Amino acid sequence: MPIRHILLTLLVVAIWGFNFVIIKLSVQELSPFLAAALRFLLAAIPAVIFIKHPKTSWVWVASAGLAFAFALYGFLNFALAVGMPAGLASVVLQVQVFFTILIAFFVLKERPRRGQIIGAAIAFDGIGFIALERFQGISLWPFALTLLAALSWAAANILTKLAGKVDPVAFIVWGSLWAVPPLFVLTYFMEGPDTFIAFVSAPDLYTLGLLGFLSYVATIFGMGAWTWLLTRHSASIVAPFTLLVPVTGLLSGWIILGETVSGMEIAGGILVIIGLGVSVIKFKPKGS
């Protein structure tokens, strides 16, 4: 991967680490599903008026959009709303790397390297540490929701790869549009019409600013760049670079939200990051 592509990947995952704090703040102001719906509504409209549909089947656009916008952020927003710390969520969600590698093996026939398998084993040990702590604290539900979000992200990675080389911004914009109606429907049935009325009747600049960051910085730029990278490199190469997400996510949660984690959770997070690091590094045989 060229150095400029590596730098772009690092920028995206750094933004996504900070993104967890912004999502946490947004679900404190709005219901989790409405926050997701408005995020992707702003990302899609009015952009779809000016941006042509990507040159690929609408099936890939719709399925990838539902995976990353509806499923990923539906589960993640809900997890953060019911008690998952933003920094800890940024660590747990990175299990998507190994879900991606696993699905890519069966769907894309991409064989994982030995280092990726070892890294996955280390990271899953870390996830086990965190799960044990969450279970003892009777808060396994937010943790399980975050794992479902990770699985959704992995599915979105593979669907993006199957879509082929497409305009990344068009792919994200039109994919976002597919997720908006089901998110609004879910909001209506889970929260009732008063949720819509409360937001429309009294929108504030703070909430709109949060939604603006989520829509344009994290989604249009972040997902657009990520899609562009996935269409040019192997999914098993791109996905592990999310190593930086838990670092910026934990730091942001600590500095901005004052979040703390237990010793067991810190140990689990360190194992996840080590596992991700092992999966990224390519060891060359001696004499090569």
Report which of residues 284 and 170 the model is more confident about. 170
Q: Give the confidence band of 281 by pLDDT, cuts at 50, 70, 90.
A: low
Cα angle: 66, vertex 71, 77; to 5 degrees: 130
222 found inside a domain: yes
At 82 the three-state DSSP class reads: coil
CA 14 to chain centre: 12
**Is position 75 within any domain?**
yes
Are the C-beta atoms of 77 and 27 separated by less than 8 Å?
Answer: yes
Residue 283 is which amino acid? F
Six-digit token pair at 279? 């999966």
Binning the chain into helix, strand and coil, the percentages to the nearest 5 are: 80, 0, 20
The number of folded domains in the chain is 1
Which pLDDT belongs to residue 123? 80
DSSP label of 172? H
Half-sphere exposure of 221 (CA within 13 A, CB side): 15
pTM over 0.75: yes
Assigned domain for 244 exists: yes
Q: What is the mean pLDDT of the chain?
A: 85
pLDDT digits (tens, 9 = 90+) for 63-74: 999 999 999 999
pLDDT at 215: 92
Residue 183: give the domain boundaries: 3-94+142-260
CB 242 within 8 A of CB 276: yes
135 found inside a domain: no
Q: Is residue 71 part of a domain?
A: yes
Whether residue 105 is contained in a domain is answered as: no
The C-alpha atoms of residue 16 and residue 10 are separated, in whole angstroms, by 10
276 in any annotated domain: no
| Closest C-alpha among 183, 165, 155 to residue 68 | 155
**pLDDT band for position 282 (cuts 50, 70, 90):** low
Query: Model confidence over 127-176: pLDDT tens digits?
Result: 788 777 766 654 788 989 999 999 999 999 999 889 988 888 899 899 99
Query: Looking at the domain assignment, is residue 111 inside a domain?
Result: no
Predicted pLDDT of residue 288: 40
Nearest by Cα to 178 from 58, 35, 56:
58
Lowest mean pLDDT among 48-52, 70-74, 148-152, 198-202: 198-202
